[in-house]
Amino acid sequence: MPARTPVDTEEIGYDELALAARNHGMPLEALRYDITPPGLHYTLVHYDIPWLDERDWRLSVTGLVTAPGEFSLDDLRALPSRTVRITMECAGNGRARLRPRPVSQPWLVEAVGTAEWTGVPLARVLGEIGMARGAASVVFTGADHGTERGVEQDYQRGLSLEDALNEEVLLAYEMNGAPLPPQHGYPLRLIVPGWYGMTNVKWLRAIELTEAPFTGFQMLAYCERQDADDPGEPVTRINVRALMVPPGMPDFMSRARIVRPGPLTLTGRAWSGHAPVTRVLVSTDDCRTWQPATLTEGGSRWAWRGWTFDWTATPGRHVLAVRATDAAGDTQPIGQRWNRGGFANNAVHRVALACIP
Amino acid sequence: MPARTPVDTEEIGYDELALAARNHGMPLEALRYDITPPGLHYTLVHYDIPWLDERDWRLSVTGLVTAPGEFSLDDLRALPSRTVRITMECAGNGRARLRPRPVSQPWLVEAVGTAEWTGVPLARVLGEIGMARGAASVVFTGADHGTERGVEQDYQRGLSLEDALNEEVLLAYEMNGAPLPPQHGYPLRLIVPGWYGMTNVKWLRAIELTEAPFTGFQMLAYCERQDADDPGEPVTRINVRALMVPPGMPDFMSRARIVRPGPLTLTGRAWSGHAPVTRVLVSTDDCRTWQPATLTEGGSRWAWRGWTFDWTATPGRHVLAVRATDAAGDTQPIGQRWNRGGFANNAVHRVALACIP
């Protein structure tokens, strides 16, 4: 019998399954690609994918601006563009491995992907419009619409003006050199390098400059809380994390891994939205001892780095693990860091396998 | 409180979740597209997505042939090509709605998509190679490798020579005008219009002509059985089915639907691998009474047809349903048709909603 990845057996509800059937992660063998191919990048859609045509679509920019304005996609394409390669991860990645399990989109560890996004810097668009005195915050509104905990809403998120004016914050109209796929925000998506996915508002239709920080539903929802009364800490940048391409071959149903005895090279990727990844450690004895992996491609500042580690598999059961550290000094915890929403989890990735002659 | 789609609450295991996190269906709002955009077409990978490069890849053709041969992708591209638009559906679509639920990839109803596949007719390639006397069956081998119920294997399926020589059976190297995405079989995939997805072998690397029908693992696995001793009926062509774009807006967590009172047009698609769709009926009272929908685009012989139905929503709860019939005289059952593998299920699609002023 192949070994099983160590998760317990608390079962998943139909609500969670309905989300898992719509949204999807990146199969971990796709960690091999520098740029995640179309359709393999993770995607999470809060409501429905809106039915939009760029010919009818406009971006409105209002609020504390010199003069409110509207942009067509051609207007935005006419402005100087920039391309940024980023690794994006869902704030709920790893949620379904927490105990007790927060009930929402039940991600295991696959909610990640790396893409090149092309668009116009937001700072440039705000420069065209002109910011009025007192503007300190920006509200971004997507075209997707639905209810969440009884609140009917367009999907909306806010950023401080300081974070929004970073020159790498883009209004992106291309993903990997092609128009955005519908599920990734066609025709326009906010891209904020280093931040969890919820910040990167899809199907962007409106930008409003305000004096006060935005405190709408999604700002309150994406907070780390220990209990319902906890005001919570906002979820912002992506915590350091490494993942491994599961070695060997899988069993179809259980996804358990089987390898043959002998030398093999473990590979994977590591990233952080806080600071560059500086170290990746691998354990072949379920986190008891650790040895350094070799860091390979540097990638861009915001994209994952590759790592490799040579190992000789011996017959028996093994649990491999990988753990990254970034230049901010953060290291992945071995145990789970729990909060009610299951956000910003970055426990080490463990892969159980059976080595069979 | 929004209404809930009527499923019971038997829970899903972690094995099933691990499959649901990797594989994905087509969000039902994407029924709006004639051709499913990249990344929204359903995909199911039995083992791992193989890491292939067309420069190293070859297709071998062996067995009862005049002379065994090997084809590079350029060799195949040099032969006359054909493009076929087909609706493809997983044989396990609807499995997770069955009671008792067969444990495997837990599809609700989203395991479908429509694409245009371009490639060389298989008959042409077999003509180049030359078939030997006695050849009556064809075995197709993919590059994906793993174990299933203890059997280590490359993914393999067989077809009778008669089915294989249909001029619309393709060795496809393009999907929607671009090279195949990795998860859809790059660099080459067998395409058999009208048959469930498992027949359309991905990452195709070998074709063998034989005298006897192929009886390997996947031929035995994909059978409809009532109990373990039942020899079973092979799963072949796609049963008639219609799906509906869920109207109104969703609740994030439950996917329950909410509409406003007033007139609206219900839309969706219908298809069958046996014969053209001839009739689509809609019920707005949970299958008690039925009225004809209007069939729209004819599509190709193998692609879904559109349908529309005008309805005036009144305050309260409603269960909508849609039911198709094909020219072979088959009509979708209202109740579940159960078998151990959860294959070829095509119960009517029901959508519960709350109409709220």
As a whole number, mean pLDDT of residues B309-316 equals: 98
Question: Phi then psi for A56, rounded to 5 degrees?
Answer: -100, -10
Compare CB distances from A252 to B47, B107, B110 and report the shortest one's residue: B47
The pair of structure tokens assigned to A211 is 């004096």
* Portion of chain A with pLDDT greater than 90, in percent: 92
- The answer to whether B249 and B257 are in contact (CB under 8 A) is yes
DSSP letter at B329 equals S
Do B20 and A18 lie within an 8 Å CB cutoff?
no
Do B22 and A251 lie within an 8 Å CB cutoff?
no
* Tens digit of each residue's pLDDT (9 = 90 or more) over A144-188: 999 999 999 999 999 999 999 999 999 999 999 999 999 999 999
**In this predicted structure, what is the pLDDT of residue B336?**
83
**Distance from A94 to chain B by nearest Cα, in Å?**
11
**In this predicted structure, what is the pLDDT of residue B5?**
38
> Check: CATH 3.40.50.2300 for B14-234?
no
CA-nearest residue to A39 within chain B is: B39
As a whole number, mean pLDDT of residues A101-122 equals: 96
Which residues make up the CATH 2.60.40.650 domain(s) of chain B?
241-355
Q: Distance of alpha carbon B145 from its chain centroid, rounded?
A: 21
Q: How confident is the model at residue A1 (pLDDT cuts 50, 70, 90)?
A: very low
Lowest mean pLDDT among A13-27, A130-144, B177-191: A13-27
Give which of B24, B32, B184, B252 to mutate to test A binding, by max A Cβ within 10 Å. Answer: B252
Q: How confident is the model at residue B7 (pLDDT cuts 50, 70, 90)?
A: very low
DSSP letter at A22 equals H
What's the mean pLDDT when you consider all of chain B? Answer: 95
Do B46 and A252 lie within an 8 Å CB cutoff?
yes
As a whole number, mean pLDDT of residues B309-321 equals: 98
As a whole number, mean pLDDT of residues A107-120 equals: 97
As a whole number, mean pLDDT of residues A2-19 equals: 66
Compare CB distances from B108 to A11, A21, A43 and report the shortest one's residue: A21
**In this predicted structure, what is the pLDDT of residue B297?**
72
Which residues make up the CATH 3.90.420.10 domain(s) of chain A?
14-234
* Tens digit of each residue's pLDDT (9 = 90 or more) over A231-284: 999 999 999 999 999 999 999 999 999 999 999 999 999 999 999 999 999 999
Q: How confident is the model at residue A10 (pLDDT cuts 50, 70, 90)?
A: low
Q: Distance of alpha carbon B134 from its chain centroid, rounded?
A: 32
Do A183 and B27 lie within an 8 Å CB cutoff?
yes
**In this predicted structure, what is the pLDDT of residue B10?**
65
CA-nearest residue to A97 within chain B is: B14
Contacts of B255 in chain A (CB under 8 A): 15, 18-19, 22
Compare CB distances from A30 to B27, B41, B49 and report the shortest one's residue: B49
**Distance from B166 to chain A by nearest Cα, in Å?**
30
The answer, yes or no, to whether residue B133 has pLDDT greater than 70, is yes
**Distance from A130 to chain B by nearest Cα, in Å?**
36
Instruction: Give me the residues paired with residue B320 across strands.
Output: B351
CA atoms within 13 Å, Cβ hemisphere of B333: 10
Tell which CATH classification among 2.60.40.650, 3.30.70.580, 2.130.10.10, 2.40.420.20 matches the domain B241-355: 2.60.40.650
Burial of B62 (0-12, 13-18, 19+ CB in 10 A): middle
Do B18 and A106 lie within an 8 Å CB cutoff?
no
* Tens digit of each residue's pLDDT (9 = 90 or more) over A179-236: 999 999 999 999 999 999 999 999 999 999 999 999 999 999 999 999 989 999 999 9
Compare CB distances from B11 to A12, A21, A25 and report the shortest one's residue: A12
The answer, yes or no, to whether residue A4 has pLDDT greater than 60, is no
Do B27 and A49 lie within an 8 Å CB cutoff?
yes
* Tens digit of each residue's pLDDT (9 = 90 or more) over B138-178: 999 999 999 999 999 999 999 999 999 999 999 999 999 99
**In this predicted structure, what is the pLDDT of residue B1?**
33
Contacts of B249 in chain A (CB under 8 A): 47-48, 145-147, 152
**Distance (Å, whole) CA A92 – CA A108:** 9
Give which of B1, B28, B44, B253 to mutate to test A binding, by max A Cβ within 10 Å. Answer: B253
CA atoms within 13 Å, Cβ hemisphere of A191: 31
Do A250 and B106 lie within an 8 Å CB cutoff?
no
Q: How confident is the model at residue B3 (pLDDT cuts 50, 70, 90)?
A: very low
The answer, yes or no, to whether residue B8 has pLDDT greater than 70, is no
Complex-level ipTM? 0.94
**Sign of torsion over alpha carbons B173, B179, B181, B182:** positive
CA-nearest residue to B15 within chain A is: A254
**Distance (Å, whole) CA B283 – CA B285:** 6
CA-nearest residue to B49 within chain A is: A29
Compare CB distances from A39 to B46, B147, B183 and report the shortest one's residue: B183
Lowest mean pLDDT among A87-91, B5-9, B107-111, B226-230: B5-9
Do B251 and A148 lie within an 8 Å CB cutoff?
yes
Compare CB distances from B21 to A104, A110, A250 and report the shortest one's residue: A110
What's the mean pLDDT when you consider all of chain A? Answer: 95
Amino acid (1-letter code) at residue B350: R
Contacts of A36 in chain B (CB under 8 A): none
As a whole number, mean pLDDT of residues A83-112 equals: 95
DSSP 3-state of A127: helix
* Tens digit of each residue's pLDDT (9 = 90 or more) over B240-258: 999 999 999 999 999 999 9
Do A17 and B15 lie within an 8 Å CB cutoff?
no
Do A249 and B182 lie within an 8 Å CB cutoff?
no
Do B13 and A9 lie within an 8 Å CB cutoff?
yes
Do B255 and A24 lie within an 8 Å CB cutoff?
no
